[in-house]
Amino acid sequence: MTALTPLHVEAGEHDGTKMPDRCMEMKAEHAKMNADAKAQDVALAAEVARMNNAKGAEKSTIMAGIVTTLVAQRTEMHVKAEAMQGKMMSHMSGHMQTGKDSMGQCPMTKITADVNESPNQRNGLDKN
């Protein structure tokens, strides 16, 4: 069980003077996280192709390496997601304290909205 800790707040963070910088930092961190995941996907695809072309014991060895890599990546993903959730909660709290218009200007709000949409909504197929 994770202990709850107070959110770290820097001077100026909730009065609006630092919010645009914080928004861009969060957006950059999100983009890096996505780029890292895509790079991992490319590396895994290459290993799977290598495994599919291998024979006998070599195939099993490569498969074991793939499974080990997947478990490590999944564990790392959970740690990063938990850390990002705390940062995002603090970030959104800053917007709420800054004023109602602040959140609408945040590039992270658009990213969050996109994530919460269904695939049909993103593709314009949902009429609701």
Q: Which two tokens stand for residue 49?
A: 């192709």
Whether the predicted pLDDT of 87 surpasses 60: yes
Looking at the chain, the whole-number percentage of residues with pLDDT higher than 90 is 34
CA of 71: how far to CAs of 14, 68, 117, in Å?
Answer: 39, 5, 28
Buried b (16+ CB within 10 A) or exposed e, 100-123: eebbeebebbebeeeeeeeeeeee
Q: Please state whether 124 falls in left (phi above 0), alpha (psi between -120 and 50) or beta.
A: left
Instruction: Say if pTM beats, i.e. exceeds, 0.75.
Output: no
**pLDDT, position 95:** 73
Mean predicted confidence (pLDDT) in 30-54:
94
Mean predicted confidence (pLDDT) in 68-75:
96
**Range scoring the smallest mean pLDDT among 2-6, 46-50, 56-60, 101-105:** 2-6
Whether the predicted pLDDT of 47 surpasses 70: yes
Whether the predicted pLDDT of 42 surpasses 90: yes
Place of tokens 């990002």: 84
Place of tokens 């478990």: 71
Structure-model confidence comparison of residues 52 and 9, the more confident one: 52
Whether the predicted pLDDT of 123 surpasses 70: no
Residue 75's identity, in one-letter code, is T
Whether the predicted pLDDT of 8 surpasses 50: no
Place of tokens 């994530």: 115
Q: What is the DSSP string of 64-116?
A: HHHHHHHHHHHHHHHHHHHHHHHHHHHHHHHHHHH-HHHHHT-HHHHHHHHHH
